[in-house]
């Protein structure tokens, strides 16, 4: 019996709990088995058909499936009208750049381009035995339905999914796989199915991120993205602040650039899709979603939102403090109301709803996290203030009661979950970048496990929303550029949380899988008693390249847990910023490395048996003498040299202190560096300037 703080998102796609992955020592499904289930066994493989394959979605998904199915010899049929402009060939360049020419050629070798007239399928298609149709044709309901009927009548039993951005499954009569832009690389799909299907599990097994959402007019991503767009357009209508400037403010306060995104995707198509989505939503939910005149005009004209290059803006429209408040009411009030509607309708797991905003719509924090951090009463007040500006929105689709359970774990644990079987706990991180929210949730997860009397724990990604762990969320550092105390607080508090993993559990095991584990996340994992990694995961400390000074004790903790003969490797890792494969880190950065399920099994064994399975690497608590010179790869980049010096100084200072004092020493060094000119000139400083200086 597994008990959890909240439901695992993995369960929403029929793949069980993360805990069961470890306890069973295997992943719930694997790609080869799922390919067999969906396309038939080797020797009798069917094909994947993508219709509308020359469109932006169709061509992008063709590349994504092509690259992931290449090793399974699945023919991919690219179906489109004879006169459709070629959208596939232009993808080749990107494919070759990502996978190399040889792989790209092999991927393209599996692509079979067929034309049809819209009414009759090509006879050749039968010989390719279509098993799965991914429909990416234009958003016209009757055309789509006729298309499905055509396939069903020719290929009874074929699985069909639509990439529609708005029609519900009940209207289409097929399941939905709604993808997120950019389609070649974005792994997220909003999935509408009665029950999780074998194809959905295949997507997961292929490394994509299917997210279960409910069957409504427009899905979570479109409600958030199109909703943000219409909120921004209303603000434009009320204030005349130009679109480009509103975009900058939205980026500053929330993260996305909705107007730029439309232009980048292609204004003609994107404007129509946004209008179409809002039109459908407003038909059902009223004025909250009603498209504005400007959107109608841009939909009809296909015009970009940003000014033409020769008309770069001339009059500064920067808003003052009062204007910022009004801006927040227009945007947040509207978004909070939309989120209340989605919660009321139970459109998805809270973490998924929140993550869709972050991973697909580029919100720095998802709307649920924003509301939670603001509190129910303040969130409601913002919506009420918005209704004073836009009274028609108050008439429908406002569900303040949806905010009444902010104390539930569904709200409180958007990013971090904890599960246990009474003996071993698993803490899962559902966010790829560490921030204050993750830090607070991790503390609550630790508290919960302790309250449940759990003394053994595995810390890992969530096998769903995180496919890698990239480090600290550098957005959190922006205020630290000007305020030493903020940098210190971040470093000190996050490190204190990380230390709990070591001091408050009998055994803690960090499990690293996925593509990479970098920076702050690797630092966090260093605090566990054991670190188990997949052979192929990249581990690294890229801070020197930003540059920042590591703040979660990477500059002394790993030194205290390995012999001096390994220090050169640690210093190389910290000063050169290059990643190393998991299999090359055992003994100096990690404790065990293996391929896939073998690593999972070892993580479970270590968590269950502790030192009976493997002795722990102890922390050397007194000060260490670290020689001040180790050879590193030469560079003439003065900034890198200066950053290396700052990191080396931190290593010397924090290792020179005892383990207890080192926490403060490292926090001080990290905070001090963040206020330096070098940090301001680097990635963090430039991003802060670009984002915050509107």
Partner 1 sequence: MNVESIFPKAHIPYGTWGASYFPAWQSSPLAEVNIGQFAGEAMAYIMGKRKVPMNSLDYLVSGSTIPWHWKFWGSPFLASCAGQRVPGYHLEQACATGLKAIFAAAGAVQGGLANVSGVLTFDRTSDSPVGVFPERRSYERTVALSDVWDNFGFDPATGGAMIATAGNAARKHKIDRKEVDELTFLRYKQYFQALDSGFLAKVLVPLEVLNLQGKVMGKIDSDAGVRSISLEALHSQRELDTCVTSGTQTHASDGMATMLVTTKEKARELSSQPDIDIQIIGLVEARALPSLMAEAPAMAVKKLLQQTGLTMNDIAVVKDHNPFAVNDAIFAKELNYDWHNMNKTGCPLVWGHPQGPTLTRLSIEALQETVDLGGGYALVFGCAAGDVGIAGIFKVSEGGKA
Per CB under 8 A, residues contacting partner 1 are 236-242, 293-294, 297, 311-318
SS3 letters across 144-207:
HHHHHHHHHHHCCCCEEEECCCCCCHHHHCCEEEEECCCCCCCCEEEEECCCCCHHHHHHHHCC
- The residues, ordered by sequence, that sit 6+ positions from 582 with a Cβ below 8 Å of its Cβ are 512, 533, 534, 535, 536, 537, 538, 539, 590, 593
What H or E segment, with its residue span, contains residue 360?
none
The least distance separating partner 1 from the CB of residue 533, rounded to whole angstroms, comes to: 45
Of residues 248 and 380, the one with the C-beta less far from partner 1:
248
Supply φ then ψ for residue 624, to 5 degrees: -115, 145
- Residue 323 vs 656, nearer CB to partner 1: 323
C-alpha span between 375 and 393 (Å, rounded): 22
Cβ closer to partner 1: 318 or 637? 318
| Closer to partner 1 by Cβ: residue 210 or 685 | 685
**Residue with Cβ nearer partner 1 (239 or 443):** 239
Which CB atom, from 174 or from 246, has the smaller least distance to partner 1?
246
Q: Which is nearer to partner 1, 17 or 257 (CB)?
A: 257
C-alpha–C-alpha distance, residues 494 and 325, integer Å: 31
For partner 1, which is the closer residue by CB, 243 or 567? 243
Q: Which residues contact 91 (CB under 8 A, 6 or more apart)?
A: 59, 60, 62, 63, 184
Integer Cα distance of 212 and 193 in angstroms: 8
Tell me how far, at minimum, the Cβ of 250 lies from partner 1, in Å: 16
Query: Residue 43 belongs to what H/E stretch?
Result: none
- Residue (237 or 252) nearer to partner 1, CB: 237
The CA distances from residue 588 to 328, 557, 569, 571, in Å, are: 48, 11, 8, 11
Nearest-approach distance from CB 311 to partner 1, in angstroms: 6
622-627 own/partner pairs: CB under 8 Å, 24+ apart? 622/658, 622/659, 623/655, 623/656, 623/657, 623/658, 624/556, 624/559, 624/560, 624/655, 624/656, 625/655, 625/656, 626/559, 626/567, 626/651, 626/652, 626/655, 626/656
Distance in Å, CB of 240 to partner 1, minimum? 4
Q: 307 or 563, CB closer to partner 1?
A: 307
We find the least distance from the C-beta atom of residue 391 to partner 1, in angstroms, to be 15
Considering the complex, state which of residue 303 and residue 639 has its C-beta at the smaller distance from partner 1.
Answer: 303
Contact 428, 419 (CB under 8 A): yes
Nearest CB to partner 1, comparing residues 242 and 400: 242
Which residue lies nearer to partner 1 by CB, 96 or 294? 294
Round to whole Å and give the CA distance between 238 and 665. 51
Distance, in Å, from the CA atom of 101 to the CA atom of 52, rounded to the nearest integer, reads: 25
By the 8 A CB rule, do 204 and 18 touch? Answer: no
- The token duo for 66 is 């092509």
| Nearer residue to partner 1 within complex by CB, 167 or 327 | 327
| DSSP symbols for 595-634 | SHHHHHHHHHHHHHHGGGTSPPPPP--S-----S------
Q: Which two tokens stand for residue 283?
A: 């038909």
Is the four-CA dihedral 468, 469, 475, 481 of positive or negative sign?
negative
DSSP result, 461-493: E-SSS-S-B-EE-GGGGGGGGT-HHHHHHHHHH
What is the DSSP-derived secondary structure letter of residue 413?
T
Question: CA nearest 338: which of 255, 415, 278, 296?
Answer: 278
| 3-state secondary structure labels for all residues of 81-121 | CCCCCCCCCCHHHHHHHHHCHHHHHHHHHCEEEEECCCCCC
Q: Give the residue with the Cβ less far from partner 1, 1 or 315.
A: 315
Residue 292 CB, nearest distance to partner 1 (Å)?
Answer: 8
Instruction: Tell me the closest approach of the beta carbon of residue 307 to partner 1, in angstroms.
Output: 9
Residues 123, 92 contacting (CB under 8 angstroms): no
CA distances from 609 to 4, 23, 448, 685 (A): 22, 13, 22, 46
């Amino acid at each position: 019996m597994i008990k959890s703080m909240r439901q695992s998102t993995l369960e929403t796609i029929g793949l069980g709990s993360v805990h069961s992955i470890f306890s069973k020592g295997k992943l719930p499904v694997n790609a080869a088995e799922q390919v067999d289930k969906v396309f038939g066994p080797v020797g009798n493989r069917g094909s994947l058909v993508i219709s509308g394959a020359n469109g932006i979605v169709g061509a992008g998904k063709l590349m994504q499936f092509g690259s992931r199915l290449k090793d399974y010899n699945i023919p991919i049929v690219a179906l489109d009208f004879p006169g459709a402009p070629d959208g596939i060939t232009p993808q080749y360049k990107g494919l070759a750049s990502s996978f190399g020419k040889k792989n790209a050629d092999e991927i393209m070798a599996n692509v079979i381009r067929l034309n049809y007239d819209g009414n009759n399928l090509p006879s050749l298609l039968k010989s390719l035995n279509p098993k799965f149709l991914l429909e990416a044709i234009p958003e016209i309901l009757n055309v789509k339905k006729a298309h499905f009927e055509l396939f069903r009548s020719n290929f009874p039993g074929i699985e069909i999914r639509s990439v529609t951005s708005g029609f519900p499954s009940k209207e289409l009569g097929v399941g939905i796989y709604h993808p997120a832009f950019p389609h070649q690389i974005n792994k997220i799909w909003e999935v509408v199915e009665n029950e999780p299907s074998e194809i959905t599990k295949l997507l997961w097994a292929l490394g994509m991120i299917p997210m279960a959402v409910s069957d409504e007019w427009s899905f979570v991503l479109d409600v958030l993205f199109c909703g943000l767009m219409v909120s921004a357009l209303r603000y434009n209508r009320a204030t005349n602040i130009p679109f480009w400037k509103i975009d900058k403010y939205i980026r500053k306060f929330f993260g996305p650039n909705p107007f730029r995104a439309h232009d980048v995707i292609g204004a003609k198509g994107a404007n129509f899709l946004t209008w179409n989505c809002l039109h459908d939503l407003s038909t059902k939910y009223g004025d909250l979603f009603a498209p504005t005149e400007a959107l109608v005009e841009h939909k009809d004209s296909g015009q970009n939102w940003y000014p033409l290059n020769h008309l770069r803006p001339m009059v500064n429209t920067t808003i003052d403090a009062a204007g910022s408040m009004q801006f927040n009411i227009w945007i947040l009030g509207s978004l909070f109301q939309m989120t209340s509607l989605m919660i009321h309708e139970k459109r998805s797991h809270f973490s998924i709803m929140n993550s869709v905003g972050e991973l697909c719509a580029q919100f720095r924090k998802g709307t649920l996290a924003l509301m939670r951090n603001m509190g129910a009463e303040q969130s409601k007040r913002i919506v009420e203030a918005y209704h004073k500006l836009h009274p028609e929105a108050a008439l429908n689709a406002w569900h303040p009661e949806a905010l009444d359970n902010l104390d539930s774990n569904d709200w409180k644990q958007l990013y971090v979950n904890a599960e246990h079987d009474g003996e071993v706990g698993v803490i899962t991180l559902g966010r790829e970048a560490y921030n204050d929210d993750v830090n607070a949730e991790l503390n609550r997860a630790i508290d919960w496990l302790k309250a449940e009397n759990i003394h053994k724990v595995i810390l890992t990604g969530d096998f769903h929303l995180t496919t890698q762990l990239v480090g600290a969320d550098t957005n959190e550092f922006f205020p630290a550029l000007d305020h030493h105390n903020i940098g210190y607080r971040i470093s000190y508090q996050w490190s204190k949380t990380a230390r709990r993993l070591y001091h408050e559990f009998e055994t803690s095991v960090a499990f690293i899988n996925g593509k990479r584990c970098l920076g702050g996340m690797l630092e966090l994992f260093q605090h566990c008693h054991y670190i188990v990694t997949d052979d192929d995961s990249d581990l690294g400390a890229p801070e020197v390249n930003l540059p920042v000074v590591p703040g979660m004790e990477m500059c002394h903790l790993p030194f205290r847990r390995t012999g001096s003969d390994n220090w050169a490797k640690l210093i190389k890792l910290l000063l050169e910023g290059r990643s190393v494969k998991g299999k090359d880190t055992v003994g100096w950065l990690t404790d065990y490395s293996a391929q896939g399920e073998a690593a999972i099994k070892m993580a479970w064994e270590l968590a269950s048996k502790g030192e009976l399975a493997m002795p722990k690497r102890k922390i050397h608590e007194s000060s260490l003498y670290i020689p001040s010179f180790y050879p590193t790869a030469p560079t003439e980049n003065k900034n890198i040299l200066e950053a290396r010096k700052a990191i080396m100084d931190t290593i010397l200072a924090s290792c020179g202190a005892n383990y207890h004092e080192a926490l403060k020493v490292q926090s001080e060094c990290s905070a001090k560096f963040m206020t330096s000119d070098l940090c301001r000139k680097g990635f963090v400083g430039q991003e802060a300037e670009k984002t915050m200086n509107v």
